[in-house]
């Protein structure tokens, strides 16, 4: 394995903040010098953020301390009586204990590293699959400003499977007193379904999470009208934005 391959293999662990010891030191030193590893690290960090993974810092296994203590306290075999006892028997015992402690520690670290590595790979695969599903399911419809608001623009990003939808608009004027903008989803029934009332921000933009309405499963048109501030059950005011689903 080349040195670069080894660094790339450490990237998923670095993204999970799970590197320690020499690996962490070497990786930190290498990162500013290597575009490939930085790009890979960014991708992994995005991947874990995307699926909301909150990976705690890797802690040593909880039983490690017990195992180390047990190793130190373990009875050490006595030399056969026929042989001359060593001058410093405690030295041999301590050395054996130290070797055991070191050995257990190294094994634990190595095992942990392998486990975290496997976990990071699983997470990355899951994130990729989730991302693919989101891309497959989300649709985008553009809405154009009509005569009352020719400068207005909007997009609706919607998911027919979950009926979730978000409207992002710009170029909207503040509605007259007592009025608000209302969103409509028009499906096959032709009867527009009310999908939320909103007021744009001072800069004319709006980001509205629309309530889930059944029409979002198979919408034909998204529209925005000016309505009484409490909202209407069916559109009564001027249509400000509209977009047909292609
Ligand atoms: Zn690198």
* Ranges in the chain annotated CATH 2.60.40: 139-244
The region of weakest confidence among 145-154, 160-169, 182-191 is 160-169
Count of CB atoms situated within 10 Å of the CB of 213:
19
- Residue 223 above 80 pLDDT? yes
Question: How large is the ipTM?
Answer: 0.95
| CA distances in angstroms from 235 to 11, 119, 171, listed in the order given | 54, 52, 21
Task: Give the distance (Å) from ligand 1 centre to CA of residue 7.
Answer: 5
Task: Give the distance (Å) from ligand 1 centre to CA of residue 105.
Answer: 28
| 170 in Cβ contact with 154 (< 8 Å) | yes
Contacting residues for 161 by C-beta, under 8 A, at least 6 apart: 137
Select from 147, 215, 158 the least CA-distant residue to 185.
215
Contacting residues for 36 by C-beta, under 8 A, at least 6 apart: 4, 8
Helix (H, G, I), strand (E, B) or coil at 208: strand
| CA distance linking residue 40 with residue 117, whole number of Å | 15
Task: Give the distance (Å) from ligand 1 centre to CA of residue 118.
Answer: 20
Task: Give the distance (Å) from ligand 1 centre to CA of residue 56.
Answer: 25
| CA distance linking residue 171 with residue 237, whole number of Å | 19
| CA distance linking residue 103 with residue 136, whole number of Å | 50
Task: Give the distance (Å) from ligand 1 centre to CA of residue 32.
Answer: 9
- Residue 96 above 60 pLDDT? no
Task: Give the distance (Å) from ligand 1 centre to CA of residue 73.
Answer: 44
Looking at domain 139-244, its CATH class is: mainly beta
Task: Give the distance (Å) from ligand 1 centre to CA of residue 37.
Answer: 4
- Residue 100 above 60 pLDDT? no
- Residue 55 above 50 pLDDT? no
pLDDT band at residue 57, thresholds of 50, 70 and 90?
very low
Instruction: Please compute the mean of the pLDDT values over residues 158-167 and round it to a whole number.
Output: 86
């Amino acid at each position: 394995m080349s040195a670069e391959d080894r660094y790339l293999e450490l990237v998923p662990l670095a993204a999970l903040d799970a590197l320690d010891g020499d690996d962490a030191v070497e990786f930190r030193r290498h990162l500013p010098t290597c575009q490939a590893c930085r790009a890979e690290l960014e991708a992994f960090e995005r991947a874990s953020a995307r699926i909301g993974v909150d990976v705690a810092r890797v802690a040593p296994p909880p039983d490690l301390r017990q195992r180390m203590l047990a190793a130190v306290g373990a009875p050490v075999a006595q030399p056969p009586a026929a042989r001359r006892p060593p001058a410093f028997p405690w030295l041999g015992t301590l050395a054996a204990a130290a070797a055991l402690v070191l050995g257990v520690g190294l094994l634990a670290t190595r095992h942990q590293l392998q486990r975290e590595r496997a976990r990071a790979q699983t997470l990355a695969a899951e994130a990729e699959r989730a991302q693919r599903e989101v891309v497959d399911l989300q649709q985008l419809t553009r809405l154009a400003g009509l005569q009352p608001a020719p400068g207005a623009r909007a997009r609706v990003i919607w998911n027919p499977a979950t009926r979730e939808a978000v409207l992002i608009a710009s170029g909207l004027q503040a509605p007259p007193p007592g009025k608000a903008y209302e969103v409509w989803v028009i499906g096959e029934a032709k009867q527009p379904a009310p999908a939320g009332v909103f007021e744009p921000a001072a800069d004319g933009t709006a980001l509205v999470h629309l309530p889930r309405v059944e029409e979002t499963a198979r919408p034909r048109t998204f529209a925005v009208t000016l309505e009484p501030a409490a909202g209407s059950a069916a559109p009564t005011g001027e249509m400000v934005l509209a977009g047909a689903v292609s």
